[in-house]
Structure 1
Amino acid sequence: MSVTVKLEAQARSPEKNKGTGTRVARKLRQQGLIPAIIYGHKEPNLPIVLKHDDVWRIIKQQSHRVDLVVAGKTEEVLVRHVQWDHLSRDIIHLDFYRVSPEETVESIVRLEFKGTPAGVAAGGLLETPVHELKVDCRADSIPDLIAVDLSGLELGQSLYARDVPLPAGVKLHGNPDLLVAHVVAKPVKVEAAPAAPAEGQA
């Protein structure tokens, strides 16, 4: 189950510091802060700022749930979106969605592949086009990751989303036929035949 991170945040006046783009993020980042917003549950949107180090703590721990303390009130939220600067790879803005622990929510959970497929040992090549799945579960029961044992995968076999074992209380959200992993034959290298000597050459 995902560990809940508890952090302090400050309310931000949108009139005083309008916008959520790169310029605003740069100005706040100079102060060691990153802008964010809390929304959902039919409550007013709440613009906030977080300390830079606290945001990276969320990212590094891959936390789904966060308890944000704003002016003494605790907001139970999920990380819904992280906006990055494509050039500097700095974080520009975060979106947090209000939840209650017992409600069912949609989340994206990382897959952790384990074991060497039997088909790889037989000379095949493992391909894993998907590294995360969308699932539905209670907000207080979001798994940190889903372990997937690939050791039984033979050459030519595939593993689909419907085949991934999920923890109790967690249901697949989306296409059950989504390809997660398969073992294929390695491409055969065909060596070019030596060029025929030009006419008149020995």
Structure 2
Amino acid sequence: MSKALEAEKRSGFKRSDMRVLRESGRVPAVVYGKKENGLPVHVDAKDLLRHVQRGGADIFSLKIEGGGTSQVMIKDVQRINGRIVHADFLQIDKNTSVRATIAIDYQGEAKGTKEGGIFQIQATELDIEALPDDLPSTLEIDISNLEIGDKLIASDIKLSDKVKLLSSEEEVIASVVVPQVLEEPEAEASEEAEVAPELVGEEEEKSE
């Protein structure tokens, strides 16, 4: 079992207070849930980053100073130039469904790409809802049978009966398309060359 992420309560809310926290390796955050409704805290930046990098529905223990330990998931993070500057945590009740944004894991190589097609990804994640213990870490889908002209929509991803898709079922998430071929400029130039002499001849007849 991983070590709990420790959070200290936050009392300063000015920009200068936030800057001091960040310069000391801390990230301002807020805890939401039934037990804590908007509790300001701050956590270690490196420890937080480890959980952010796990992605998906990473549920872990958050030990709040003077408030016990709660199971939480990351609701949102704010970044500036790639650096995490703020985070929101959502307390989890294992008996209550939660909404989460989960990454799509495209597996295999599309058959159509071997025939000259281009595999395009339109969506990298989808919104779902489930009990905490039923949340998948990723949404896997096999693309190996996709041919040129084929597309995948959100409902093509097979979900457990315990997981509800919140994104539109008809949302296009990936496709295999034909490469666009640009018209050759030489062909246009040759056509202009054929027409030009006729136009010159007409102008000479008019002048006579």
TM superposition score normalised by structure 1: 0.85
Partner Cα distance (2:6, 2:28) in 1: 13
Residues 161 and 179 of structure 1 are in contact (CA less than 8 Å); yes or no, is this contact kept in structure 2? yes
Is 1:38 paired with 2:31?
yes
Partner Cα distance (1:167, 1:11) in 2: 38
More strand by share: 1
Partner Cα distance (2:2, 2:88) in 1: 16
Is 1:141 paired with 2:134?
yes
Bigger RCO of structures 1 and 2 (CA < 8 A, at least 6 apart) = 1
Q: Which amino acid aligns with 2:164?
A: K
2:113 is paired with a residue of what secondary structure? helix
Residues 64 and 142 of structure 1 are in contact (CA less than 8 Å); yes or no, is this contact kept in structure 2? no
Alpha carbons of structure 1 residues 43 and 7: separation in structure 2 relative to 1, 3 Å? closer
Number of the residue aligned with 1:74: 69
2:185 is paired with a residue of what secondary structure? coil
Number of the residue aligned with 1:7: 5
Structure label with greater radius of gyration: 2
Partner Cα distance (2:59, 2:110) in 1: 34
Tell me which moved more, 23-32 or 191-200.
Answer: 191-200
2:21 is paired with a residue of what secondary structure? helix
Which sections of structure 2, spanning at least 5 residues, go unmatched?
A: 201-208
Which sections of structure 1, spanning at least 5 residues, go unmatched?
A: none
Is 1:18 paired with 2:13?
yes
1:151 is paired with a residue of what secondary structure? coil
Percent of aligned positions with the same letter in both sequences?
Answer: 30
Residues 160 and 181 of structure 1 are in contact (CA less than 8 Å); yes or no, is this contact kept in structure 2? yes
Aligned length: 191
Render the CA deviation track for 1:1-48: whole Å, top value 9, x for unaligned. Answer: xx97731111112xxx114x5x54331122111110101227432111
Residues 52 and 74 of structure 2 are in contact (CA less than 8 Å); yes or no, is this contact kept in structure 1? no
Residues 25 and 93 of structure 1 are in contact (CA less than 8 Å); yes or no, is this contact kept in structure 2? no
Partner Cα distance (1:6, 1:176) in 2: 37
1:44 is paired with a residue of what secondary structure? coil
Alpha carbons of structure 1 residues 103 and 5: separation in structure 2 relative to 1, 3 Å? farther
